[in-house]
Structure 1
């Protein structure tokens, strides 16, 4: 028995490395694009709408991965699923390095987002299976690693792009290839770990059709979608905004993005116990409202209020893990289905959100083009785009309030 316990303990450690390391890599892959996008835009001569289309199109890769990852993990096993997720991210880094035009970079990003989608769903399902005790605490800790890597990703990315190798700069291409190659590190212990299927018996589960009839499930999708669109948009647009609206350097803008993720990281580490005390839905109402107010106030205050962009990370950070905890509590027998359903539909919202931001920026630029200089119209467009990001956080709060009232009427407040 002692040998069995020791073996299980070692296997649990391997699985912890996969989960925590996977979220660490996930944070890097998602948030090194902030400093890279302005240089990519300059090198490939892309406008803001093309950047929005690029991010939206590649979110389709993420969405596609969300639709089949749950099925793949059940059929082929978690080991193969996570190996494919990590492996596709490594390959995408090589493809980004050799991408010579907009079409090629779009295809490479598409592959990277497939890896990201597989990784997010796979890690969420694995975490739900192994974090049987102290589930809320462990979920928040796992997502803390995402925040940790997200905090340092922009600074590391900006620094690596300026590193000279053999007389030439590494640039955004080399930086992507190097950072995504790190996916091999959590992939290796995953190959030696044992994954036991601890799913509920079929009789205790419901069908996807039955699940989709639950109005609460759709409200949770809306809450998460608004929250995640607001969260992810910061990584893609904050550096661009600060450089072009305020004339900040790439280094200074990247540091502000890192400050956002530093607040983001600390919030996930500190606020977890608070969400348990005041309740998940009430936490969502308060925190998303705080984030939205900070983002809108930052635009109104101008350059002197730029610190509010970073402070917004405090409110938006706990949204995702809190929703995951809410799903686990409300659907304990069908957590994997609930996660797949919710995150897949969230992916659709992410596509729409990226398109909307890019379109709003370009439309506002054209609207102000006749009444001011090109710089003034660009700033107006960027401000409108960022106001939309803040509005998404406020809508997350509103939908959370509707969810709270619905659960209260049913006496099922979580």
Structure 2
């Protein structure tokens, strides 16, 4: 009987790993095909940089909305149904984007996709926290390695698919989104077959939200994650745009640099996970985010010859999210569901503001320094300012992590 139970447990654990790893693969595709697609959307629909920033910021509200109620869905429906719902909504959003023909309908479709993104991110974070109870830093980074793996190839695949001729016409960004998001149906299959651990079966006890609202360290963790995620996700949305318009690179070359960023990003998550367990989560956050910020800002200052630094910044920013998730899982063991939902929801608010700020800075500086004698001079200055802000967010992540280190040290809770 025990042998049968062991086989059953091993089989179910394998299915759980397929959900987590497959889910992060899909999440990476959904987040990072937008790099090559945004310039095409901008051209087709006649959008300026501020509208792009508003598109990303407004639709981040969908992500924020999903983060706020995913924990409630987990408690009411269970993690299994919540996870299945997240995969299904992602696939459906691809069809909505395919049918989008105006800025308004595209915004609505993106809003729905971000709801799916929020559902999926929280569901995967809860599942990972409940099954990775040993070597948490290493396993969290390994899980997020699959996000980096798909992110690494997503820009190249997206650029290639948009040029494919199908049924007498070009697939374009609409068809590309529909195909890529349809991949969400694949990890739904093991989710249907597996037994997912709910909060009750994992032995967790809910604690009041006000506990986190009064915890200084909890708010510092929110700030660390917020600055890190703004810097990480902004690369997927703005790097291709920057390289094409500031340096005149082709879509293929720009997408190649974005893929190089994710090569470094992916390798870092595969290699640096054990480092975070060894030197500690908070020290890791300080060092890695500072490195990323300096690389991003240095790349802009150095000009086209320093473009490789854009890719190298991926090494530092990659461990931030999984390391924070590991910190939450260990520090709030037994209450990870509430801690993760609170932290990621607050991070979503910052993400909305961050996306808006990048677009506003880029457009504002473009208008301020617009020079009729030099075509595109104002746009280049705006793009440079926007990308420096991306690097500055990584530096703020490091600075905030220093305050977190001090706070946890005082409480004798360093992990």
TM-score normalised according to structure 2 size:
0.97
Alignment of 1:52-63 (within 5 A): 52-63=53-64
Q: Is the 8 A contact 2:86 2:119 kept in 1?
A: yes
* Match runs of 1:167-246 below 5 Å: 167-199=168-200, 204-246=205-247
Q: What does 1:234-273 align with in structure 2 at a 5 Å threshold?
A: 234-273=235-274
Encode CA deviations 1:143-183: one digit per residue, 9 max, x unaligned: 00000000000001001111111221111110000000010
Q: How does 1:276-355 map to 2 (within 5 A)?
A: 276-355=277-356
Which consecutive aligned stretches of 4+ in structure 1 deviate over 4 angstroms post-superposition? none
Determine the C-alpha separation between the residues in 2 that align with 1:60 and 1:313.
26
Partner of 2:275: 274
Deviation of the 1:54 alpha carbon? 0.2
2:358 paired residue number:
357
**In 2, Cα distance between equivalents of 1:330 and 1:198:** 17
Question: How many angstroms does 1:205 deviate by?
Answer: 4.1
The root-mean-square deviation of aligned C-alpha atoms, in Å, is: 1.2
Return 5+ residue gaps in structure 1 as ranges: none
Distance 1:201 1:191, change over 3 A: closer
Q: Greater CA deviation, 163-172 or 110-119?
A: 163-172
**Match runs of 1:83-102 below 5 Å:** 83-102=84-103
Counterpart secondary structure, 2:303: helix
| Alignment-derived partner of residue 11 in structure 1 | 12
What's the offset of the Cα at 1:11?
1.3
Q: Equivalent residue for 2:164?
A: 163
Task: State the alpha-carbon separation in 1 of the partners of residues 125 and 157 from structure 2.
Answer: 26
Q: Displacement of 1:289 after TM fit? A: 0.5
Give the match for residue 397 of structure 2.
Answer: 396
The runs of 5 or more residues in structure 2 that have no matched partner are none
- Partner Cα separation in structure 1 for residue 5 and residue 197 of structure 2: 15
Deviation of residue 53 (structure 1)?
A: 0.2
Q: Deviations over 1:356-386 (max 9, x none)?
A: 0000011101111257534000000000000
Find the aligned partners of 1:339 and 1:47 in 2 and give their Cα distance.
35
Shift of 1:113: 0.5
- Give the C-alpha shift of residue 14 in structure 1: 1.2
Per-residue deviation, residues 339-358 of structure 1 (Å, max 9, x unmatched) = 11100000000000000000
After the TM superposition, which of the residue ranges 108-117 and 276-285 deviates more from structure 2? 276-285
Q: Which residue of 1 aligns with 2:376?
A: 375
1:201 shift after superposition = 5.6
